[in-house]
A and B are shown apart, each in its own frame.
Chain A
């Protein structure tokens, strides 16, 4: 199957400057060698703690941040090094939905102006056509057409997110990067927005990169899930597999930390000590092994900790600190995934 988006060993490093000459003293390795692909009509979930680099990855994929290294291909076209002008026609195909619709919608523009803008920028349609399309968009995301003449601040959080979704849909994109699109919303509104995203995906064969920290939400909407830790993907599998059969210790800890809305479910929690370590000067070996003070940490320095296929379509980092001895033994014979 030819994938819609392929990223290959992508790195995004930010310089840290200091001293009187503001020389670069270190680098924040926000994204540090990530390879992923997204198929047409598929949702790839991306989860991890704050500061793990998931939002940076999402922005780099659509070239809102310049990658330091690696390759991004969109429909078999290399877009890693395109300049902004070359990117513009391609921007129709990938759009973004942000966490806080209040901040991503211009308060001085009417909803109609916000939704018309993509057409204007790309020079599509006559005035009347655009008017008709905006009405259709509003209808499609469950808003009344009368909303067009109002301003975004007149709407509730859920309605504003619908406007954000309508804007993302305007140019009929193939891929939408959803960066925490429901985390600012109340639960009853959150479910409305999730339902809308699922329906739109079916209707338009959209692909989503769905970034969130709420694992139940990610599980619900994703076909495959990638777990990110300190700039790297540590486990990647179908949503079902990630939740039924997690292999990486970090995935297990993340899953066990989700509070279950069932008071009768007594579960053992894996309590992680400490916080996400800093992506400035990350540990040389297993980053997670370092956090939990794993006895095998010293051994992991210098090892190739890249993803390997442990079961069909189930990839996990070959990390002696984070796998059971059986899993590690099994996986160390597998060649690294392409």
Chain B
């Protein structure tokens, strides 16, 4: 497609398998997921609840619920080293250091009994070995960086003093404090109003331009994907069903699930009260594991479900799709 040279890769997730031990047996929440994150780019992961998008992200920074969650296979290459084999101490240094994490609920990510200042300064003293005074000053600078007005005053506030949007700015400040090369944002704006969401997405875009970081943006909102991402990974039932540059994905979706998602959202252009296209059924339960195509399982197509898993093929340059004969046109 485009002739721009492919930029260096910051992160490569290769055939990642993450499972949870439950009373009902081993659940494969992430089933051989592969994608790459180029430097200075935003990769969006989209899918419905339970599709494994958050588990994929939390596998990267190893914040899986313990002891149930386990990485059972695959590699996570971050700047040339495999995070799946890193020790817990090494992961400690990487989390909040070279990989920042932003969660959906800023109130849950911040400690309610500590002042904002202490929580931001802590990152600097932990990761940069700064003195108390230096860390405090660096924290003020960081709050100003994420456009929090009167940062010196806000340092003395507790999280509940701030609005949802301001809290999320604090979480972003903490995530970006050590100038990470990769930021993982798990539904960072889902809990916010649209007007505040626009502010936060705008802020993240500007910070990315300033610092050159890469971002993994997890969301269920295709509008957010369209506006903020360079590349998109579409997940369904623990698998990547399609992966493409953002414009290519929206103009030429190849997998039936991607098309179903795109068709089911009302836009300002859809005629009022017209019936929306729907995807029948609901996201497959991970307990009902099948080898074949999981979307065919949802659609009740027996034949393809029992066969082997569809191959993940590059249908066009940079455009990958799980090639099921029923779900994609390219597979025929």
Contacts and interface: CB of A to CB of B under 8 A. Distances in A.
Instruction: Answer yes or no: are A and B bound together in one complex.
Output: yes
Interface of A: 43, 49-50, 156, 158, 186-192, 194-195, 198-199, 213-217, 219-223, 239-240, 243, 253-265, 269, 271-273, 275-276
A259 B226 contact: yes
Contacts of B312: none
What 9 A-B pairs are tightest by C-beta distance, nearest first?
A259-B223, A220-B266, A191-B276, A191-B264, A186-B48, A188-B279, A257-B198, A261-B222, A257-B194
B266 A216 contact: yes
A258 B264 contact: no
Interface in B193-244: 193-199, 201-202, 220-228
Contacts of A263: 226-227, 246-247, 250
B266 A261 contact: no
Contact of B268 (A188, A223, A258): A258
A265 to B, nearest CB: 8
Contacts of A190: 264-265
B272 A223 contact: yes
Nearest to B224: A259
12 contacts: A49-B195, A188-B264, A188-B278, A240-B272, A254-B195, A258-B194, A261-B226, A261-B265, A263-B227, A264-B247, A269-B198, A272-B199
B223 A260 contact: yes
Contacts of B266: 191, 194, 216-217, 219-220
Given A156-B282, A189-B282, A198 B223 contact: no
A190 B198 CA distance: 22
Given A216-B268, A220-B270, A194 B276 contact: yes
Contact of A216 (B197, B261, B265): B265
Nearest to A51: B193
B275 A195 contact: yes
Interface of B: 48-49, 163-166, 193-199, 201-202, 220-228, 246-247, 250-251, 260-262, 264-268, 270, 272-279, 282-283
Contact of A191 (B225, B251, B265): B265
A200 to B, nearest CB: 12
A290 to B, nearest CB: 15
Please classify the interface of chain B as helix (H, G, I), strand (E, B), loop, or mixed, using the class held by over half of its residues. helix
B194 A195 contact: no
Nearest to B51: A186
Given A216-B266, A219-B266, A258-B194, A275 B165 contact: yes
A236 to B, nearest CB: 16
B272 A219 contact: yes
B283 A186 contact: yes
Contacts of A195: 275-276, 278
Contacts of B164: 275
Taking each of A199, A223, A255, A272, which has the highest tally of chain B beta carbons within 10 Å of its own beta carbon? A272
Contacts of A240: 272
Contacts of B251: 264
Nearest to A243: B268
A187 B222 contact: yes
A198 B225 CA distance: 28
A262 B250 contact: yes
A187 to B, nearest CB: 5
Nearest to B262: A261
B48 A260 contact: no
Given A156-B282, A261-B262, 17 more contacts: A49-B195, A49-B196, A188-B282, A191-B276, A198-B273, A216-B223, A219-B268, A220-B266, A220-B273, A223-B272, A258-B223, A261-B225, A263-B247, A264-B247, A272-B199, A273-B199, A276-B193
Taking each of A198, A199, A240, which has the highest tally of chain B beta carbons within 10 Å of its own beta carbon? A198
A304 to B, nearest CB: 27
B127 to A, nearest CB: 31
Contacts of A258: 194, 223, 268
Contacts of A49: 193-196
Contact of A239 (B163, B193, B272): B272
Given A49-B193, A186-B220, A254-B194, A271 B199 contact: yes
Contacts of B226: 259-263, 265
Given A186-B283, A192-B278, A222-B272, A261 B223 contact: yes
A221 B223 contact: no
B260 A271 contact: no
A198 B275 contact: yes
Contacts of B227: 259-260, 263
Contacts of B225: 261
B202 A271 contact: yes
A141 to B, nearest CB: 14
A276 B199 CA distance: 13
Contacts of A50: 193
Contacts of B262: 261
A275 B166 contact: yes
Taking each of A199, A220, A273, which has the highest tally of chain B beta carbons within 10 Å of its own beta carbon? A220
Contacts of B270: 220
Given A259-B223, A260-B267, A220 B195 contact: no
Contacts of B264: 187-188, 190-191
A160 to B, nearest CB: 12
A263 B274 CA distance: 24
Nearest to B246: A263
Nearest to A49: B193
Contacts of B268: 215-216, 219, 243, 255, 258, 260
A233 B177 CA distance: 42
A76 B273 CA distance: 28
B197 A257 contact: yes
A265 B225 CA distance: 13
Given A213-B194, A257-B194, A263-B227, A188 B272 contact: no
A239 B246 CA distance: 30
A43 B273 CA distance: 10
